[in-house]
Structure 1
Amino acid sequence: MTKSFMRLLTELSSRKWISQITGAFAKSKLSKAMIPTFARMYGINVAEAEKALHEYSTLNEFFTRRLKTGSRMVDNTEHALVSSVDAVITGIGSISEGTVFNVKGQDYTVEELLNRSPREVNYKNGFCFVLYLSPTDYHRIHSPVSGKVLETEHVPGKVYPVNEFGLRHMTRVLSRNERLITFIRHEHGEVAVVKVGALNVSSIKYAAEKLPDRLTRGDELAYFEFGSTVVLLTESGTFTPDPSLTLGSKVRMGQRLGTFSPASEESEEKDV
């Protein structure tokens, strides 16, 4: 099957209503019978789940499961940025003059990722992680820093796949898909947590109906209904990545991705 034909099929299946139908089934009682098969198919570590398999009433409830206390340790290194999710790093690198280079062969701009938010200027020469969650992974999203929630935005969009094929062969899926963006101010600057929807993801939801004004590193922030991607952006001149992390590295929620240093005077004068 040619790449162009696959691209056409993906374009045709990128309509939100198709994902909504899939999501409706996953939330129905009929989907409960699929949970054991789904867990085996994707090699999910069910021992970590907060509840036993038979206690989940729908596939969606299992997919968005919480974990048992202690299943993930949040790095307590001073000034650390931690991973929001269990994921594979599919993009990593410095942002140069507002451009994120070579995410599976494609470049993105901070402007498009953040939907032309006025805050984009803060990230012009920052750092970027693209974190892909497969169906195997735990799908709750946690705060990567401790700080004040400055702003949130929901960006409607398509639901293209964000897997290897989607990132490499579809045009700029991270900035065309539905997104939920959270800006958080911490002691050394600011981060943007961009949650990107994907094929068969019927929604991205915040963990609470109303987010608290402040979050502690590791606090629950949101969750995906089926696999997707988180893009983490750090403010210019504030972050040094962990040198052991490279493209393809597997990370777990709470793992240290790097450390912050004091922002520039210009950054520290911003309204917090």
Structure 2
Amino acid sequence: MIKFYNRKNKSYEIEQVAGEKVLNWTYSSPLGMSLLEAVIKKKMCSSLYGWYLDRRISKNKINPFIEKFNIDMSITEKNSQDYLSFNDFFYRKLKPTAREVDSDRNSLVSLGDGKLFAYENIDLERLVQVKGLTYSLKELIKNPQVAEKYQKGTCLILRLCPTDYHRYHFIDSGTCEDTKKINGAYYSVNPVALRKVKKLFCENKREWSTFHSDHFGDVLYVEVGATCVGSIIQTYIPHKPLKRGDEKGYFKFGGSTVILFFQPNKVKIDEDIVEQTKLGYESYVLLGERIGTKI
């Protein structure tokens, strides 16, 4: 059971988890963990399932998924019958009016829809994965020089569960450098898995890039793949001027995570998000929603 904080209602809710029984069995039983290490975390497993979800035959999974998880199709660009495959539906685009991006240049906005943790004054060698488990930014991006810029800065972890909108966006105007890719495993990024696999973010396939923001300094974007995520697709053009809210990329099927790092004294995260993080709860946020301010 995953409890999260709904900022709009100021209340706690229980997340609906796609494949919850299988997920719990995999990460909680000796046989499940053995299968995970031998097969599930391997690239071939996720690639094969991704291949299937790219095929027209997978369309029959769309409507049951919409009904089970109450997906709001009134805000999507296409109707359910118009998608060519399940993956085509999974990384669906939203109507331009579906999400309002806060235009105040001093407002820090969410890069997408999902569950958010926020950590301030971070120690690069002891970044929090979950309570009791940490990892290193230097190990995460394998570039100590870039990592050092974010010592004592701010870290945001946005988890996109399979029922969420799976495109991620730029939080400000600016330009973004080329993406660096790091091969890795395909563990789930669900909290169940985060409590079981040490340095999970450093184990999984991931990509990172430096975004030169006009108002928040150099922001480090790290996209982390997960079980059954066949691909991380970057749709932006490196070094080209970007606007706040422009799309950066999307994930194919599976739960995924985007981690942002800010340099010290650049942003102040809204107090409710920081407080919920300290209590161990993620806060549910939407693309374009204000989550902090410029310092």
TM-score by length of 1: 0.89
The alignment of Structure 1 onto Structure 2 pairs a total of residues equal to 259
The aligned residue for residue 264 of structure 1 is none
Q: What is the aligned-residue identity percentage? A: 31
The aligned residue for residue 92 of structure 1 is 118
**For 2:181, what is the secondary structure of its paired residue?**
strand
The aligned residue for residue 52 of structure 1 is 79
- The structure-2 alpha-carbon separation of the partners of 1:145 and 1:18, relative to structure 1 and needing over 3 Å to count, comes to same
Are the aligned partners of 2:175 and 2:238 in contact in 1 as well (CA < 8 Å)?
no
The aligned residue for residue 130 of structure 2 is 104
Q: Displacement, 1:225?
A: 0.5
Are the aligned partners of 1:94 and 1:100 in contact in 2 as well (CA < 8 Å)?
no
Q: Displacement, 1:167?
A: 0.9
The aligned residue for residue 253 of structure 1 is 287
What whole-Å deviation, never above 9, does each CA across 1:197-223 have from its counterpart, x for those lacking one? 000000000124x44522211100000
- The structure-2 alpha-carbon separation of the partners of 1:202 and 1:117, relative to structure 1 and needing over 3 Å to count, comes to farther
Q: 1:7 is matched by which residue type in structure 2?
A: M
Q: 1:258 is matched by which residue type in structure 2?
A: G
Does residue 242 (structure 1) correspond to residue 276 (structure 2)? The answer is: no
The aligned residue for residue 59 of structure 2 is 32
Are the aligned partners of 2:59 and 2:85 in contact in 1 as well (CA < 8 Å)?
yes
- In structure 1, C-alpha distance between the alignment counterparts of 2:224 and 2:206, rounded to whole Å: 5
Does residue 11 (structure 1) correspond to residue 45 (structure 2)? The answer is: no
Q: 1:142 is matched by which residue type in structure 2?
A: H
- In structure 2, C-alpha distance between the alignment counterparts of 1:176 and 1:54, rounded to whole Å: 37
The aligned residue for residue 222 of structure 1 is 249
- In structure 1, C-alpha distance between the alignment counterparts of 2:144 and 2:179, rounded to whole Å: 11
Q: Displacement, 1:100?
A: 4.6
Q: Displacement, 1:52?
A: 0.5
Are the aligned partners of 1:42 and 1:135 in contact in 2 as well (CA < 8 Å)?
no
The aligned residue for residue 67 of structure 1 is 94
The alignment's C-alpha RMSD in Å is 1.7
* 1:107-126 map, 5 Å: 107-126=134-153
Q: Displacement, 1:66?
A: 0.2
- In structure 2, C-alpha distance between the alignment counterparts of 1:79 and 1:88, rounded to whole Å: 22
Does residue 162 (structure 1) correspond to residue 189 (structure 2)? The answer is: yes
User: Which range moves more in the overlay, 183-192 or 160-169?
Assistant: 183-192
Are the aligned partners of 2:69 and 2:163 in contact in 1 as well (CA < 8 Å)?
yes
Q: 2:51 is matched by which residue type in structure 1?
A: A
The aligned residue for residue 106 of structure 2 is 79
Q: 2:261 is matched by which residue type in structure 1?
A: L
What whole-Å deviation, never above 9, does each CA across 1:96-129 have from its counterpart, x for those lacking one? 3413543212112221222225211111111111
The aligned residue for residue 197 of structure 1 is 225
The aligned residue for residue 50 of structure 2 is 23
TM-score by length of 2: 0.83
Q: Displacement, 1:178?
A: 0.8
Q: 1:201 is matched by which residue type in structure 2?
A: V
Indicate which of 161, 180, 202 corresponds to 1:175. 202
The aligned residue for residue 12 of structure 2 is none
Indicate which of 237, 240, 244 corresponds to 1:213. 240
